[in-house]
Structure 1
Amino acid sequence: MQQVISSEQIPIKMWLDNAEDGSIVQARNLANLPFAFKHICLMPDTYQGYGMPIGGVLATKGVVIPNAVGVDIGCGMCAVKTNISADTLSPETIKSMMKGIRERIPLGFDHRETPEDEALIPQGHKLDELPMVKAQYQSALKQLGTLGGGNHFIELQRDTEGFLWIMIHSGSRNLGYKVAEHYNHIAKKENASWYSQIDPAWDLAFLPVHSKAGHQYIKEMQYCIDFALANRQLMMSYVQEAVSSVLNETDYTPMINIAHNYAAFEEHFGEQVVVHRKGATSARLGETGIISGSQGTKSYIVEGLGNPESFMSCSHGAGRTMSRTKAIRELDLEEEKKKLDDQGIIHSIRGKKDLEEASSAYKNIAEVMALQADLVRIKVELSPLAVIKG
């Protein structure tokens, strides 16, 4: 833990240095919520978000805040190790695998032309109790097994022992966005009717967990978390198909999966609370997690140390240092392409818009990992071989 701000209603504990002003303003707002519990946590990848900083952890008593989860509910990462020696793969072989992945998985805003099998959708939920999910259900079937845009990616990676890994970063697609927007709108409307003293400009409208709307949001949020997992599972199966079509006798370890945009009922400091992780990962003692770097930098498989001060959480990635607009405006396209080319990383950077996710727009992942040495232990270090961005 690097710094503590103690001037607000509850402390703000930060595992970072050089925090941007906007994220600190948002953290101060969180620390002055009447139902915020114990302290606010900022992970080393923190940057300003909408309402709550990305990389923030908030525990509350009796309420859930849609904007403290975010619009990509259940967004997370999965990873699989193969038995293939990455050192035996030629650039042409890797390009063949990447071509197969693109043929199987729609990217960016693209959806499937025909719906996926309903058996692949999350089971055990009653659609009649999920109004937003029910309304979006047919559309969601065409989004299942698709990557999405922004910072979502599919990477082929090499570990320090030389084995090939597959990593995917994606979420609940438009379904999560629709659910988040719907319940945030309800929360804002209800907070106004209650004459809530929380400043609407904070964008932190809340729902009591035992209210009708709060109960519905939690159920629909859980569906989106399950949908995001199903989405990653299906994409992983398609990536494995693409790899196996090029390489015979490829074996895969069981998939590691984590989410980093969600709220969960947990016990901390002897009390039951709702822990909101927005761009943060659970890091309970012995728990396996994934922390990704930026495009062209290392990623990590980690083991949680169960630090209670962070509500047993850690960062989800490197964290932005500049907005997407600023990255497009200030970064040099040819220079960013050269950085990847010089490392031998196969990529698809073509135009200025691709600069949104350039590594220069992100923090140094090695420094981020050093700042959270009391939260996680590195188990596997992964270097990128090829990347597909959404």
Structure 2
Amino acid sequence: MKDIIETEKLPIKLWLKEEEMEEGALEQARNLANLPFAYKHIAIMPDTHQGYGMPIGAILATKRAIVPNAVGVDIGCGMCSLRTDLKHLETPKLKKIMSAIRKTVPVGFRHHENPQDETWMPALEGNLPVVKQQYESALNQVGTLGGGNHFIEIQKGSDGYIWIMVHSGSRNIGFTVANHYNRIAKEKNKTMDSPVPQDLAFIPDDSDDFELYWNEMNYCIDFALANRKLMMERAKSAFTEIIPEVAFYDFINKPHNFASREDHFGESVLVHRKGATRARKGEWGMIPGSQGTRSYLVKGKGNAKSFESCSHGAGRVMSRTKARKTLDLKAESKALSDKGILHAIRHRNDLDEAPSSYKDIDEVMANQTSLVDVQIELQPLAVIKG
């Protein structure tokens, strides 16, 4: 822990210095610390930046309430990694693999033209009104990357092996579920004349809508995993198309937008992680940098002060709009090309995902040595962005 704020109802524990936080994120953290149902303290990770209602890179534990905006609109968004048995990958073969992935994984706003096999979809069990409405369209979305900071990256590990990493979420089904229940939460809070900010509107646990959101949130978490798994299968197929003898091992999956029931400090609470990864003692996780910088495979230390959590990435240092307006396209593209990385910075609109728009991943990792132990460093070789 690097700093602590003790001016609010609950302490705010920071894994960076207070002065390093942007004002908007700091104000949001203070709002969290004054929620009447917040528990123990608020934890802020070193990759934090302003989000909607709650900072990205924050952990909120609650009693008897759930906050849809503290999970976020991309429910279940996360990353998975897979090791190949390859120790070297020549650039011509790498380019062919990336081309094959692009043919089978739609990116940005694109979906599959045809529904995917239903076996990829989580089972429709329990009361899932919004999910059931979205189910048919979700059949065309499973196995698609989306936009923003989502990526498929081929990496070379410090263990000597080639790795594949995928970052994506629950696509439109998660977005629709999140917005539906956030509207309900806002309506409930108005009825209750709640002092809670509308951006942090909550659903009490004695409400029927609590169980509905809980069920649908967990479905979206499962869908997000299925989405990543299918993309990983398509990436594996691309590898085997070019290198038939390749084998794959050590699949790791970690969501970073979710809420879960956990025991902390002797009590059962709901832990909301928004842009934060669970890091129980010995638990594997992933902390990616930006394209062009290292990513890390880590094991958690189970730090109680962070509610057994760590950062989910490097974190933004400037808004997407500012990055597009101020960064130099040629300089950003050249910096990646000079490193030999097959990158995704080709147009000005791509600059929101340029390395300079993110925090220094080395500094982020240095700030959380009390949360995780690095196991493997991953150098980027090629990346597909949404």
* Aligned-partner Cα distance in 2 for 1:178–1:206: 17
Structure 1 residue aligned with 2:53: 51
C-alpha separation between the residues in 2 aligned to 1:342 and 1:374?
34
The 5 A counterparts of 1:263-342 are 263-342=259-338
Task: Check if 1:12 corresponds to 2:8.
Answer: no
- 1:306-385 aligned at under 5 Å gives the runs 306-385=302-381
CA distance in 2, matches of 1:209, 1:149: 33
Cα deviation, 1:153-180, whole Å, max 9, x if unaligned, reads: 0000001133110000000001110000
Q: Deviations over 1:262-284 (max 9, x none)?
A: 00010000001000000000000
Stretches of 4+ moved more than 3 A in 1?
A: none
Q: How does 1:151-166 map to 2 (within 5 A)?
A: 151-166=149-164
- The one-letter code of the counterpart of 1:269 is F
Any conservation in 1 of the 2:62–2:269 contact (CA below 8 Å)?
yes
1:92 aligned onto 2:92 = yes
Q: Report the residue type matching 1:242 in the other structure.
A: A
Q: Aligned partners of 2:124 and 2:266: how far apart in 1?
A: 31
Distance 1:124 1:285 in 2: 33
Partner of 1:62: 64
Find the aligned partners of 1:266 and 1:160 in 2 and give their Cα distance. Answer: 34
Selected match of 2:186 from 181, 185, 188 = 188
**Per-residue deviation, residues 69-118 of structure 1 (Å, max 9, x unmatched):** 000000000000111012xx221111000000000100010001111111
Q: What's the CA shift string for 1:123-170, capped at 9, x where partnerless?
A: 2623xx111101100110000000000000000000113311000000
User: CA separation in 2, counterparts of 1:195 and 1:210?
Assistant: 17
Q: Deviations over 1:276-334 (max 9, x none)?
A: 00000000001000111011110011000000000000000000000000000000000
Q: How much does 1:119 deviate?
A: 1.2
The equivalent position to 1:31 in structure 2, one of 30, 33, 52, is 33
Cα distance in 2 between the residues matched to 1:28 and 1:314: 20
Task: Indicate the SS of the match to 1:296.
Answer: coil
Q: Which residue of 2 aligns with 1:147?
A: 145
| Paired letter, 1:40 | I
* Unmatched 5+ stretches in structure 1: none
CA distance in 2, matches of 1:175, 1:275: 22
Partner residue, 2:233: 237
Residue in 2 that maps onto 1:226: 222
2:352 and 2:257 map into 1 onto residues whose CA distance is 21
The residue identity in structure 2 corresponding to 1:195 is D
| Secondary structure of residue in 1 paired with 2:166 | strand
Aligned mates of 1:9, 1:346 — CA distance in 2: 48
Deviations 1:325-379 (A, max 9, x none): 0000000000010111010001232111100111100000011001000000000
The DSSP-based 3-state class of the residue aligned with 2:359 is coil
SS in 2 for 1:379: strand
SS in structure 2 at match of 1:107: coil
1-structure distance, mates of 2:121, 2:101 = 21
2:78 alignment partner AA: G
Q: What fraction of aligned residue pairs are identical, expressed as a percent?
A: 58
Task: Find the aligned partners of 2:344 and 2:33 in 1 and give their Cα distance.
Answer: 42
- Alpha carbon RMSD of aligned pairs, Å? 0.8
The Cα of 1:16 is off from its aligned counterpart by 1.1
The CA distance in 2 between the partners of 1:125 and 1:254, in whole Å, is: 29
- Letter of the 1:5 counterpart: I
Displacement of 1:36: 0.4
Whole-angstrom distance in 1 between the partners of 2:382 and 2:197 = 45
SS at match of 1:293: coil
Give distance in 2, aligned partners of 1:160 and 1:68.
35
Residue 39 of structure 1 aligns to a residue whose secondary structure is strand
Report the residue type matching 1:100 in the other structure. A
User: Could you say what secondary structure the match of 2:177 adopts?
Assistant: helix
Q: Secondary structure at the match of 2:188?
A: helix
Secondary structure of the corresponding residue to residue 86 of structure 2: strand
SS of residue matched to 1:101: helix
The 2-side partners of 1:295 and 1:385 are apart by: 9
CA contact (8 A) 2:291 2:343 kept: no
Aligned twin of 1:40: 42
Per-residue deviation, 1:198: 1.7
Instruction: State how far apart, in whole Å, the 1-side matches of 2:195 and 2:154 are.
Output: 49
Q: CA deviation at 1:209?
A: 2.2
Mapped to 2, the partners of 1:373 and 1:140 lie a distance apart of 39
Contact kept? 2:159, 2:376, Cα under 8 Å: no
**Are 2:170 and 1:172 aligned?**
yes
Q: Give the CA deviation at 1:222.
A: 0.1
Q: Which moved more, 1:14-23 or 1:52-61?
A: 14-23
- The answer (yes or no) to whether the contact 2:154–2:162 under 8 Å persists in 1 is yes
